[in-house]
Amino acid sequence: MRSATSSMSISPSDLPLIQGTWFDGRSARACAAALRPQSADLCWLEAEAQQCEVFLTEVSVSARIGQIPRRLTFADGSYFETADNDGIDVLMAARGSSRGWVPWLERQWKVALLALLGVAGICILLVTVVLPRLATRIADAVPTSVDAQIGAGVLRTLDGRLLLPSTLSPQRQKQLQTHFAAVTADSSRGTAWQLQLRDAASIGPNAFAFPGGTVVMTDQLVNLAQNDEELLSVLAHEAGHVYRRHGLRQLVQGLGISALAMIVLGDVSAITSLAGAAPALLQASYSRDMEREADAYSRDWLNRHGIPPQRFDDLLCRLAASDTHSNAKNTADYFASHPAVSDRAHCP
């Protein structure tokens, strides 16, 4: 950025004679004219063999836009137009102003900081309010058959790797299927509900809902429960995830956040790691909100079916305790994506 020259050190001979056209501002009359700088603040306007003083402090100068002629408008409404944009720039620089508002903004760090805060504010609003609502709307517009296809794909990927066929007895499996049918009976809405029981020693006690109505519960969780009401509370929690289409919403939000991170953070290599971390951090916060929604769904279902909601707390607390007292790393992973149990349940 060029530095402004102080008016004290300007000599008229440094400043260019600027040729142009003068208009009286009242009629279409135009005449050839010239601006002859006398100092950084004073020019002579020469037109029709006459000369008058022009104080640049009283003149408004149009901004430079490409090669469009500049206009200097005087206090009496008359104006001077010139194609000599460079000449005007030299004159303005001598006065301490330069090419319009962009360099001015560059000097205003407070304005720059405010703009930065503005952009940050808009991003926060987009991410916390607009994107979740948009994701819900998009999820609502997607046919449920798409959810089912995604869910089936995820299950196929996990089966045989992390998930093995359940080792529970057929009678026990049948009991659990009956529980699941009871939990999903009043929220069918054309959902293809399925309970998949799996042995998952490497995952540990866990349950998860896939888009489309598939809920997976591990044998390890079934064995951790002290009664079936606790398992009903977990199944209701997972049904809550499916009912509110959390899986699809998370997919859409994930795509939205990635796109936003690319737009805002661009390809600035220094903050690439931030661009990578931001979507994961935001997803974790979305997932906390979704856990709370599913918790509320479960407690409401338990209440409506005469089961104390404390059953859900009991199982959550036992899960948390088994996590602290064992070295099972995988249970820790499960809780990493969930809100703290102390926020969700009343543990003794």
Nearer to Zn ion (CB atom), residue 291 or residue 313: 291
Are 41 and 96 contacting, i.e. CB atoms less than 8 angstroms apart? no
Nearer to Zn ion (CB atom), residue 135 or residue 294: 294
Nearer to Zn ion (CB atom), residue 87 or residue 339: 339
Nearer to Zn ion (CB atom), residue 70 or residue 344: 344
- Say which amino acid occupies 305: H
| Cβ 120 to Zn ion shortest distance, Å | 31
Span 110-139, contacts to Zn ion by CB under 5 A: none
| Cβ 291 to Zn ion shortest distance, Å | 5
Tell me the C-alpha distance between 61 and 85, whole Å: 11
Binding mask 23-62 for Zn ion (x = CB under 5 A): ----------------------------------------
Nearer to Zn ion (CB atom), residue 231 or residue 294: 294
| Cβ 309 to Zn ion shortest distance, Å | 15
Are 97 and 3 contacting, i.e. CB atoms less than 8 angstroms apart? no
Q: What is the DSSP string of 58-124?
A: G-EEPPP-TTPPEEEE-TTS-EEEES-HHHHHHHHHHHT--SSHHHHHHH-HHHHHHHHHHHHHHHH
Nearer to Zn ion (CB atom), residue 18 or residue 234: 234
Residue that the structure tokens 């296809």 belong to? 149
Nearer to Zn ion (CB atom), residue 226 or residue 337: 337
Sheet bearing 30-37, strands edge to edge:
50-55, 42-47, 30-37, 18-23, 79-82, 70-73, 60-61
| Cβ 241 to Zn ion shortest distance, Å | 6
Number of residues that bind Zn ion (CB under 5 A): 2
| Cβ 207 to Zn ion shortest distance, Å | 8
Give whole-number Cα distances, 226 to 66, 105, 222, 232, 312, in Å: 78, 67, 9, 12, 11
Are 313 and 347 contacting, i.e. CB atoms less than 8 angstroms apart? yes
Span 71-90, contacts to Zn ion by CB under 5 A: none
| Cβ 191 to Zn ion shortest distance, Å | 17
- Say which amino acid occupies 307: I
Residue that the structure tokens 């003068």 belong to? 22
| Cβ 255 to Zn ion shortest distance, Å | 21
Binding mask 260-299 for Zn ion (x = CB under 5 A): -------------------------------x--x-----
Nearer to Zn ion (CB atom), residue 56 or residue 235: 235
Nearer to Zn ion (CB atom), residue 15 or residue 236: 236
Lookup: tokens for 252 = 């859409």
Terminal C-alpha separation, the chain = 67
Nearest CA-CA partner of 90 in 64, 129, 59: 64
| Cβ 237 to Zn ion shortest distance, Å | 6
| Cβ 234 to Zn ion shortest distance, Å | 9
Tell me the C-alpha distance between 283 and 243, whole Å: 19
**Site of interaction with Zn ion (CB under 5 A):** 291, 294
